[in-house]
Amino acid sequence: MSDMPTPLEAAKALFIRRWGEMGGYWGINRTMAEIHALLFVSTEPICTDDVMEKLMISRGNASMNLRSLVDWGLIERVHLRGDRKEYFICQTDVWQMFETIVRQRRRREVEPILETIARCKDMVAGKPEGRGTAEESAVYRQRLDEMNKFLETIGTLVDLLMKVGPRGIGHISNTMAALAAR
């Protein structure tokens, strides 16, 4: 009997590893992304012990990251009849995953910076310049306005994507490609 992984096992392992590497670009840790990928490719619910074994991580690491994924709304807890262990399943609808991630990223990252920009603008609005110059203050406010406008525009585009859904995204993509080709 060989310990060689089957092609399916090897493909799943590769996907899990790459998804974990990509997690860093999204601002989440590698283990959290690997657990998400493991659950995504699994056809059956998985318990914490299985996550620990398959990814070779500690119970604390598995538990903390499973809890975070539940908090994000990307996975959910399930109970199997006759088993006291807690199991997890992943949301497998790619569009729903995209919406969940965008919603969480907006709440955790974009909204706080928009609030900070508004607060910073309020702090310098109509105030004596002190050691700074009126020109420097005007440049600062202008840059904040430009950043705010950019973030709101990106938010509007994301809202549009959410509104048109998976059926309309192809049309938007084709339209944008046509505009870019000009």
- pLDDT number for residue 32: 96
Domains and CATH numbers, the chain: 7-90 (1.10.10.10), 94-181 (no CATH)
Q: What is the pLDDT of residue 130?
A: 61
Yes or no: say if 137 and 120 are a contact pair by the CB < 8 Å rule: no
Q: What is the DSSP string of 123-171?
A: HHTT---TTS-HHHHHHHHHHHHHHHHHHHHHHHHHHHHHHHHHHHHHH
Q: Which residues of the chain have pLDDT under 50?
A: none
pLDDT tens for 83-129 read 999 999 999 999 999 888 888 888 888 999 999 999 999 888 876 66
CB of 69 closer than 8 Å to CB of 58: no
Strands (DSSP E) along the chain, which ranges? 46-47, 75-79, 86-90
Q: Which residue has the tokens 């406008």?
A: 149
Instruction: Report pLDDT for 132.
Output: 63
Query: Model-level pTM?
Result: 0.77
Percentage of the chain exceeding pLDDT 90: 56
